[in-house]
Structure 1
């Protein structure tokens, strides 16, 4: 950055030397007919031009590399910060707003760093240096040029106050539009199946029209502002020409002095004309920075404690215990969990059963610290999971959700997401357990890219790949949030048979919606009203707890209606 500024300032100094050289040419060789002197001064002017061109090349080459590295570093920091933020943050933010901050806002900031700041420094240095030289050449006209900065300052101050608000509105609406495009792309099947493409197109047109109108208003504001700068410089130049001719006729200036004065003043025209662009670009960069700090200022809440310790998966026995666990989502007064107590012994499989919306998914999400408990604690082998580092905890606890998430990469990369160093045999075994061996029939086998969100696969295929990812590496604690809901009866039976082998010796917590999956569990826990109201074997609860029978009957009815 320092080299970039230095090259810019030296370039200004070199360009300023040319009008001073012209003054000597006019008042010297031209006035006295000195051809030899004219040649040497001409060669000197040519040398100044070559040096200036070289300095411009150095400045632009440097500024491109420096600002692109700065942009990449900020984008990398933003992505890492987003990864550290809790799931509750991502639940509340639109993906398009985050995307626009990582792309368009950073692009605006980069342009300002690459051009705006440099031009501001260079133009300011040019203005100050030229005004000083003009005062030395002929101070009355130099004062006039210096005073022309006052209306420019007042105009830019008034402009900045309103332009920054308009810029923020444009960037926010751009984020909303990006969200709409992203949602439409992901949900294209639903849009087509319901024949709502016109409705979504109308929504897009409305959002796009709002952005267009706001951008036009901003452009109009800038178009009204820029002519003010142009008129100030134009009027000042006209006055200088008239007054300068009078000064030459009166003997207060030489012709060379007037030529140098006008040439120097003409050097101010471009800096003044670009001042409007610099201010506008600076305001946009400021709002872009504010939008970035909306994210950066969000403090990660699910983090390692200062004294957190690492635990090796090989040292984990898998004794999982919930002790008076309470939880409520941020911004919601009502608690979802109101004092959950549950003890899962090492190697035991517990099925979690309850009506839809009772908090089963919320409860199992606490095990991997996707959220932190509001009160109470969860222990692993007697240690509060918050006293373990997040990385080591998540290496010991593997999870699979009802709604599987696949990434736009190969099947193998998706399956080995949590265990990147898994062998081919490990991957093959995980695929066998999940009954996901269909991947070997894909065009490129494990190297086949599944596409964004895995939408090139069926729902059952996506679930089986997510299950294979969860069981890969035989984790000490396995959390499954109804990962078999999209499977047909035959495939579900095969997966359950294979899972029995995996669950042997593994502590497992299964969220169950289908009665058939309960058979995998050693014990069943019934969740109701934010508490565990009954724990026992399937047969015990079926015989003694009417509410358990009602939940299973409801689940069976839902399953039959879906099938």
Structure 2
């Protein structure tokens, strides 16, 4: 583990605060000045008691009153200026949120699947709010408390060294209790955070799958699962509250017991002349200023431990590098048509001998067919580099995809999945996908090409709102929009993973006919589960258990491949296999 990794999470997050160090310096200076004004007040009161009040000089009190008023004004101004630190903490929270979200976008789909949807949501919302609250409220108060303890300790020792030393010794048990509390609270806070993650994931999955839950009558099952998670989170948070309540009761009761000793010792000191009346009042006032930080120490420690646990989880996200790395010395893709080639590609580490060798020439269309789990979709996903193979090489345009910038590679590739993904926003925004250069005429042409011209019948046409995940549209409508998004901009390579499976036969046939010019211009890889889709291809590759067992035209495979006939025609025999 590196030296950086051994540092505490809150220390590791400090570099993010560098752009706001001026605000932090202002916060510290104003805190010190406000504290100085506050701590001068007991000394003024002591001087006023031992001076004008003791000597019966009412006129002399006015000067002390004016000084107290001035100190109050200074303290108020300093607190107002300290607000800059709070504004800086909001900006810091924003910077971290953008960084966390940006880092999550660099992860590949498998990394997101492993971490769960609740992981990133919890990090970029609740955890970062906890971190921001620490820097805006808890950290300034910690700094103020530190200066208070130093200043008050010095004043107690100056006013009466013996009594001051006894007070400090009496505070030692509180330090030991606080350390034990901090250690136990952090462990419980980490457990509560983990349970929050799991509950967020469960809620997110339920919302995404609400139609299946209702269709199959799984409401009670999902509710029971959610309640189990909610009860677990409740128990974890109750454990935190019980621990805090026990510690807080000690913090409140113990200083009061010490105060009794302070009063008894003060009376004795005043009686013997070791301490003036004003000095005793000032000593008692400083003691209360010492107990205040001690009494709120529980809350500060609790918030610090919560912030530490939240920061650790945020740093885990930021430290998780994407599995798919950008090349250090990227090569440019050539212009024009692009060939796709798989050389010795292994899809499954449990099948190291199942190697795939396949070349798709420029402008050629190749269909991938095979039984469920044969590796069709995973092989197709290697082309836009949504994943990397276990071993072997995937090249586009004669260049290994690991040597290409991901943005440039994916800019030249259009992809459409069977599970059409749409986002909240307008139809236009979903189609252009961040490419504002797409003109109106091109959009209308693509909508006509993919039979997605139903968009013109929506209330606001291309500017109609699409609800979350496109659930306001039918499955076929979502697939047509996703297909339109894939072919916009005339990509050099098209990867189509059974993108029109939700359509009826007539609509599918019409789209396939209209797509012919697009397929003729691009290099196309189609994951086909239906015969009509497979017959769009110039060649068909048959996959089985992560390897290609045959490649040929539809007619060739019907004649010689029992596996193909069984998959696409429903029987292994050659008779009747030419499908008319």
| Counterpart in the other structure of 1:479 | 495
| Structure 1 residue matching 2:521: 3-state secondary structure | coil
Shift of 1:469: 0.4
Is the aligned partner of 1:347 residue 2:363?
A: yes
* Aligned-partner Cα distance in 2 for 1:419–1:462: 19
Secondary structure at 1:370's aligned position in 2? coil
Match runs of 1:70-109 below 5 Å: 70-109=92-131
| Structure 1 SS opposite 2:465 | coil
CA distance in 2 between counterparts of 1:139 and 1:524 reads 93
State the partner residue of 1:22. Answer: 45
Residue 555 (structure 1) shift = 10
Return 5+ residue gaps in structure 2 as ranges. Answer: 1-23, 573-580
- Aligned equivalents of 1:421, 1:273: Cα separation in 2: 62
Provide the residue aligned with 1:394 in structure 2. Answer: 410
Map 1:139-178 onto structure 2 (within 5 A): 139-178=161-200
Q: Secondary structure at the match of 1:378?
A: strand
Question: In structure 2, what is the equivalent of residue 233 of structure 1?
Answer: 255
3-state SS in 1 of match to 2:466: coil
Q: 1:396 to 1:416 in 2, by over 3 A?
A: same
State the distance in 2 between where 1:101 and 1:388 align.
Answer: 31
Q: How has the CA–CA distance of structure 1 residues 548 and 361 changed in structure 2, closer, same or farther, with 3 Å as cutoff?
A: same
> Residue 266 of structure 1 aligns with which residue?
288
1:418–1:469 contact (8 Å) kept in structure 2: no
1:427 matched to which residue of 2?
Answer: 443
Would the alpha carbon gap of residues 123 and 554 (structure 1) be closer, same or farther in structure 2, given more than 3 Å must change? farther
Task: State whether residues 144 and 236 of structure 1, in contact with CA within 8 Å, keep that contact through their aligned partners in structure 2.
Answer: no
- 2:60 corresponds to: 37
Q: Contact 1:515–1:555 (CA<8 Å) still a contact in 2?
A: no
Q: CA shift at 1:505, angstroms?
A: 1.6
Aligned-pair CA distance for 1:97: 2.3
Deviation at 1:102, TM superposition (A): 1.3
Q: Distance in 1 between matches of 2:125 and 2:570?
A: 47
| Corresponding residue number in structure 2 for 1:366 | 382
Q: Please give the alpha-carbon distance, in whole angstroms, between the structure 2 residues aligned to 1:498 and 1:555.
A: 31
SS in 1 for 2:425: coil
Deviation at 1:418, TM superposition (A): 5.5
User: Deviation per CA, 1:284-312, whole angstroms, max 9, x where unpaired?
Assistant: 11111222232222222212111112336
- In the TM superposition, residue 481 of structure 1 has moved relative to its aligned partner by 0.3
Of 25, 39, 51, 2:74 maps to: 51
The alignment partner of 1:399 has SS state of: strand
CA distances 1:196-252 after superposition (whole Å, capped 9, x unpaired): 222222222221111111111110011001122222321222211111011111111
Tell me the distance in 2 between the aligned counterparts of 1:433 and 1:290: 50
Match of 2:470 among 440, 454, 462: 454
- From 451, 460, 464, the counterpart of 2:480: 464
Q: Distance in 1 between matches of 2:364 and 2:397?
A: 13
- Assess, with a 3 A threshold, how the Cα gap between structure 1 residues 440 and 336 changes in structure 2: closer, same or farther: farther
The question of whether the paired residues in 2 share the 8 Å contact of 1:325 and 1:337 is answered with no
Deviates more, 1:221-230 or 1:336-345: 336-345
* Displacement after TM superposition at 1:392 (Å): 0.5
CA deviation after TM superposition for structure 1 residue 337, in Å: 8.5
CA RMSD of aligned residues (A): 1.6
Aligned to 1:217: 239
Hey, what's the Cα distance between the residues in 2 that align with 1:3 and 1:12?
14
Match of 2:309 among 273, 281, 287: 287
Residues 1:318 and 2:334 aligned together: no
Which secondary structure does the structure 2 equivalent of 1:216 belong to? helix
Which position in structure 1 is the counterpart of 2:555? Answer: 539
Q: Deviations over 1:411-466 (max 9, x none)?
A: 11011116332111111122112111111111111111111111111111111110
- Structure 1 residues 365 and 418, CA gap change in structure 2 (3 angstroms): farther
User: Alignment partner for residue 254 of structure 1, among 266, 276, 299?
Assistant: 276
Contact 2:86 2:135 in 1 (8 A): no
1:519 to partner: Cα distance: 2.4
Tell me the number of residue pairs that the alignment of Structure 1 and Structure 2 aligns: 549
2:18 maps to which residue?
Answer: none
Give CA deviations for 1:255-286 in whole Å, capped at 9, x if unaligned: 11111111111112221111001111111111
**Residue in 2 that maps onto 1:302:** 324
Decide whether the 8 Å contact of 2:374 with 2:545 is kept in 1: yes
Contact 1:316 1:396 (C-alpha < 8 Å) held by counterparts? no
d(CA) in 1 for partners of 2:101 and 2:195? 22
Q: Distance in 1 between matches of 2:202 and 2:323?
A: 29
Task: Report the secondary structure of 1:133's partner residue.
Answer: helix
8 Å contact kept, 2:414–2:493: yes
Instruction: Sort the Cα spacing of 1:473 and 1:249 in 2 relative to 1 into closer, same or farther, 3 A.
Output: same
Q: Is the 8 A contact 1:400 1:479 kept in 2?
A: yes
Question: Do the aligned residues in 2 keep the contact of 1:337 with 1:359 (CA within 8 Å)?
Answer: no
Counterpart pick for 1:548 among 564, 575, 578: 564
Equivalent residue, structure 1, for 2:10: none
